[in-house]
């Protein structure tokens, strides 16, 4: 099973990803988490993206594409994966198409979590409030100004992916404003409607990549 979770910051991608991981035995690949780890470790990539992330902007496509390309090749991703926070731009989606095609792999579905922006802002402000109350350390980009910038980045750079994947027939939209368990159920239903699509497509993908390499 290979999935993409698409939706603005705070839409609940992380929460649903965890449930899908448990259900399908696949791994969650979150570029946001990988980039935060790079920042924390002070790697060259981390130093390059630290300020961009703190301000709510998007990191360069080549950086995130490079990270994902490597991560997909690791053994634990062989059974499948959920991409959370990637792709975030059309060039990233095109790069992902190339990465998958060159490995004879296909996506099973792109799940869009549809949410209302005002409710989203309230949801994130609540999350920030709760974390503060528990004395937890906030992320550098967890504040209302930066959130606003992240929403603009989503609208301008990421929302066009909805049309991109709809045209390819892989888009499944669910209502992200419903209670968590209902969102999970809607995702399950959407995935059940594409039975073994992944396996059938995999065979085709492999054939194609063989043809290309011969
Ligand atoms: P959230 O899920 O809260 O929207 P993420 O953890 O996915 O946030 O991402 C945090 C930040 O990491 C983004 O605001 C952006 O700066 C950077 N980032 C993560 N993924 C990508 C990506 N695919 N392309 C560009 N920047 C990214």
H or E stretch including 163? helix 160-167
Residue 90 Cβ < 6 Å to ligand 1: no
Of the ranges 18-27, 33-42, 193-202, which one carries the lowest mean pLDDT score? 193-202
Query: For 150-175, how does the pLDDT look when each residue is reduced to its tens digit (9 = 90+)?
Result: 999 999 999 999 999 999 999 999 99
- What was the pLDDT predicted at 137? 84
Residue 150 Cβ < 6 Å to ligand 1: yes
Number of neighbouring beta carbons within 10 Å of residue 16: 25
Residue whose CA is at the smallest distance from ligand 1 atom 16: 53
Residue 120 Cβ < 6 Å to ligand 1: no
Q: Which of 19, 103, 114, 139 is catalytic?
A: 139
Q: What stretches of 35-164 adopt beta strand conformation (E)? A: 81-84, 109-114
Q: Which of 28, 34, 36, 58 to mutate to test the pocket of ligand 1 (most atoms within 8 A of CB)?
A: 58
Cα–Cα dist 80/122, whole Å: 34
Contacts of 188 (CB under 8 A, 6+ apart): 23
How many whole angstroms from its chain centre is CA 50?
Answer: 20
Cα–Cα dist 63/13, whole Å: 22
CB 171 within 8 A of CB 110: yes
Query: For 107-142, how does the pLDDT look when each residue is reduced to its tens digit (9 = 90+)?
Result: 999 999 999 888 888 888 888 889 889 999 887 788
Residue whose CA is at the smallest distance from ligand 1 atom 1: 9
| pLDDT range class, residue 214, cuts 50, 70, 90 | very low
Convert 108-130 to b/e letters by CB count within 10 Å (16 or more is b). bbbbbbebeeeebbebbeeebee
- What was the pLDDT predicted at 118? 86
> Is 208 known to be catalytic?
no
């Amino acid at each position: 099973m290979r999935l993409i979770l698409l939706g603005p910051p705070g839409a609940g991608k992380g929460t649903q990803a965890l449930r899908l991981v448990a259900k399908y035995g696949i791994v969650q690949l979150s570029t946001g988490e990988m980039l935060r780890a790079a920042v924390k470790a002070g790697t060259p990539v981390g130093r390059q993206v630290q300020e961009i992330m703190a301000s709510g902007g998007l990191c360069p496509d080549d950086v995130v594409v490079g990270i994902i390309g490597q991560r997909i090749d690791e053994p634990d991703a062989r059974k499948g994966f959920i991409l959370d926070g990637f792709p975030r731009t059309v060039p990233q989606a095109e790069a992902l198409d190339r990465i998958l095609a060159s490995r004879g792999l296909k996506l099973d579905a792109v799940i869009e979590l549809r949410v209302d922006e005002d409710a989203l802002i309230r949801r994130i402000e609540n999350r920030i409030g709760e974390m503060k109350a528990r004395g937890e350390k906030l992320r550098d980009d967890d504040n209302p100004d930066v959130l606003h910038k992240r929403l603009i980045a989503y609208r301008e750079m990421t929302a066009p992916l909805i049309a991109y994947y709809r045209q390819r027939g892989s888009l499944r939209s669910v209502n992200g404003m419903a209670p968590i368990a209902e969102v999970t159920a809607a995702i399950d239903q959407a995935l059940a409607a594409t039975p073994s699509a992944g396996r059938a497509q995999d065979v085709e993908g492999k054939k194609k990549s063989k043809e290309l390499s011969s």
